[in-house]
Structure 1
Amino acid sequence: MRVCVYAGSADGANPDYAEVSTRAITEVVRRGADVVYGGGSLGLMGVLADAALAAGGEVTGVIPRFLDDREVGHTGVTDLRVVENMHERKMLMADLADAFLVLPGGIGTLEEVVEMLSWSQLGLHRKPVGLLDVDGFWGPLVALLDHMTAERFVSVDHRKLLVADPDPVALLDAMEAWEAPKLARRWLTSEDET
């Protein structure tokens, strides 16, 4: 089992971001999962990699060459894979993962979670996507998705593709219990059902 973790390459303004993220990653490893992430050593990315390693987990980092060349790659992870571009990075991370956990982050983190939700809506994967809503950080995104659902741009079933919780244990419990909505499964081929 591998959990792909998306997170910011900055620490953020609130010390709770690092503290709660560390608790979440420690719990991921305690549950027997390894971590896949963007391969960076800075900000919450470095925090999550260090937390997983400290808890005894294996960590696979996936970083594009141009970022590794800037010496931001985490040299202490179990497996650091250098790819040619951001598209390869996102595809490999998604392929390696059984679930997606989203910590606080910036534009890149936002783009990654929205892309995984879009891929899930299209039936390209059936993996849970969870937001760790530390101190309400992801509240505006959750509110926007609820608004899009109320305005009928997102179906109720597609809205269920994302789970969010401020508590790491409760979030991971919800992700473990998650089942893909029937509407999302509709587009899967019979080969994907096996």
Structure 2
Amino acid sequence: MIGTRDRDQIILEHLVDSLSCLAATGIRWGSCLIDVGAGGGLPGIPLSVARPDLRVTLLEATEKKVRFLEYVKAELQLGNLEVLHARAEDAGRESRYREAFDLATARALAALPVVLEYCVPLVRTGGKVLAMKGRLQEEELSQGVAAACELGAELSETPAVDYRPQLPQKERRLVVFDKVSATPARFPRRVGLAKKRPLGA
């Protein structure tokens, strides 16, 4: 699921990387967090282990990955973890999940405008979106800021953080957005449109 079996590389490149958002942003005690496009469970699983006070939902659309996440949850006995098999666009329109979370994370998921259309509708006003990116061009950041405005969010005053956990060859960027108003009902758009016609482009 993560492309390497080297123990040290896994610890540095994936686990430390996943936990870096704890240092970069203050996550309140007892917060509800959704990890969008959870894949192999990063950063959601390390966060749920490190912070058992958090209520973490792993959102994943691929059935094979969902089965893996359920297996890890059972093996680690993570009572604060829920695995949700759904597309982000569908979850963002369900009353149970729409604007229900304090934070949304997305790690190496998609271009910033796409990440925001997936994540912002799931976060309540006053919450945050933590976009964990690799290399981030200024154009993508500008498009992300424009997309956020349409969705009811804005770039946080917390600056985008460059972090390279002892791996100088790996560029990392954590970009934080604040949810400042309710997301318009037309978002998220139907499945596929966020990528086909990204906001802010």
TM-score by length of 2: 0.48
Q: Which has the higher strand share?
A: 2
TM-score by length of 1: 0.49
